[in-house]
Amino acid sequence: MTETLMAGLLPFEHEPYFNYADPQVAQAQREAFAQVREKYVGKTFPMIIGGKAVTSADTHDVLNPADTDEVVWRFSNASAAQRDEAIASAKAAFEDWRFSDPMQRASILKRAATLLQQRRMEFIAVMTLENGKNWAEADGEVAESVDHFEVFARETLKWAAGKPVYPMPDEHVTMTYEPLGVVACINPWNFPSAIPLGMALGAIAAGNTVIWKPASDTPLSSYLMVELLFEAGLPRNVIQFLTSADNDVLGDPLVDHPDVRMIAFTGSKAIGCRIYERAAKVQPGQRWLKRVIAEMGGKDPTIVCADTDLDVAARDIVASTFGYQGQKCSACSRVIAEDSIHDELLSKVVDLTEKLQIGLPEDNAPIGPVIHERAAEGILKYIENGKKTAKLVTGGQRAEVNGKKGGYIQPTIFADVKPTDPLFQEEIFGPVLAFTRARDWQHAIELANDSEYGLTAAFYSRDSHKISEARRLIHVGNLYINRKCTGALSGTHAFGGYGMSGTNAKVGGPDYLFWFMQTKTTAQKY
């Protein structure tokens, strides 16, 4: 059955990245920025409720992180009545969408992949203007979104086929999977395309309907993705798109609503734990136990053994620490190096870090701003406290960029960081790296596991025994051997962590859709 459904699909291949070293490609991207500025900057965008564009007199500004004096666009703030209307619309739409043909769903996602391929540079430019990613970082995310469409199209068909059971001589028994209902997707600002899309496609591919709540800092990247899905043929009432800068409207009340069957969340540990706790309470009129999936960040270590290539390790550490200013849940934030090579590795990492240029994301600078001033202030507080407890090796200050107002912070490295230090234990979500010595590689693994988080880790060694032990002992959801701990690819590196990193729902993996379904066993007597 599965083979028959999949027969019309070509073998999956990851979407290749743009080569911005090619002058023609770089010029095309510059032209895309000009077109996006002409097409979108200064406009006010609606919500989508019941398939219709809905506006509100109450709006919020979306600022360019690279120059926070620039309002790039505006979005409506939803009212409580609009929120409830959207949930009612999603509930009504579920009664049709739940019975939609899986091939129809897969075809819509395949069509969406093609449409996004045609508009990649536009989506990259939008993302850069609202969340401060440079071209390569934004391209990586949009390419991942193309992959999501392709992967989820295939997963739709696989799960529609059900699973085999052990047979009975006098019964026909099937195990099938059915959708849950209305899924609220509460999304972060750092990956405003790929993360909400992954959660929403998990819901949609399984036959659920979606309340899509983007982060208030980055709504256009999400809005354009939703409209692209509609263009690809998704019925307009399957997704309700709600925006607001007021968490009192789209925070707890959305989680608590008795008609919301499931919450899919990516964000901070504090908010994730709050959602998990509130969702556990059965509200009046609620007829189920709500399901929650949550991805809540990390404090990701890179372990470097004495037998490895230090130049390769240093290159990967810098890329995974300071790419997108460290604002990734998978970013390397701790380096744990064997004592014998610690100083040499630190020197190589510092040398590469100090060559990084800080500038405007729109100009494709390697290092840009953090998302907003609140984030910058929080990061700088960690840095100032770190100066009292560890050795500041490089960075540690704000940076100035062409007189622009934004959260520009120098890439910062601390050494002699103790395992009890907040620099070692707490997620900073910025361009800050902690170096810690280990007696040997076993001690390094112990230190790496000394964390409430367990999302990603990298382990560098040429020794097969050490690698085998690392695979067995390092307590994370995504372990990378001799490569950087960022850059998970949809369909290949199923992504989700242990511990306080979340519920381990592995987006882009072969069992992700199970989280959005319930299982039915049907036995028919002959």
Cβ neighbours of 110 (radius 10 Å): 19
Calculated CA dihedral for residues 501, 507, 511, 512, nearest 10 degrees: 100
Instruction: Please pick, among 122, 137, 144, 295, the residue that the annotation labels catalytic.
Output: 295
Indicate the DSSP class of residue 423: H
Minimal CA–CA distance to 506: which of 467, 465, 478? 478
Q: Rounded to an integer, what distance in angstroms lies between the CA atom of residue 106 and that of residue 294?
A: 25
Distances (CA, A) of 338 to 221, 346, 350, 352, 515: 42, 11, 17, 20, 40
Tokens linked to 190: 């750092």
Torsions phi, psi for 262 (to 5 deg) = -155, 150
- Other C-beta atoms within 10 Å of 520: how many? 11
Residue 168 backbone phi and psi in degrees, to 5: -115, 145
Give residue 442's region: left, alpha or beta (phi > 0; psi -120 to 50): alpha
CB atoms < 10 A from the CB of 387, how many?
A: 13
- 26 Cβ contact list (under 8 Å, min separation 6): 20, 364
Distance CA 144, CA 38 (A): 26
What six digits make up the tokens of 283?
């509200």
Q: How far apart are CA 287 and CA 200, in angstroms?
A: 23
Cross-strand bridge partners of residue 163: 175
3-state secondary structure 283-331: CCCCCCCCEEEEECCCCEEEEECCCCCHHHHHHHHHHHHHHHHHCCCCC
Q: State the CB neighbour count (10 A cutoff) for residue 457.
A: 31
Tokens of 125: 């430019």
Is 38 among the catalytic positions? no
Residue closest to 501 by CA, chosen among 459, 457, 452, 458: 452
The CA–CA distances, whole Å, from 362 to 60, 65, 127, 129, 193 equal: 23, 11, 10, 7, 18
CB 367 within 8 A of CB 359: yes
CB proximity list for 37: less than 8 A, separation 6 or greater: 129
- CA 273 to chain CA centroid, Å, is 18
Q: Are 264 and 186 in contact (CB under 8 A)?
A: yes
| Residue count (the chain) | 526
d(CA 292, CA 266): 11
> Where in the sequence numbering do the catalytic residues fall?
295
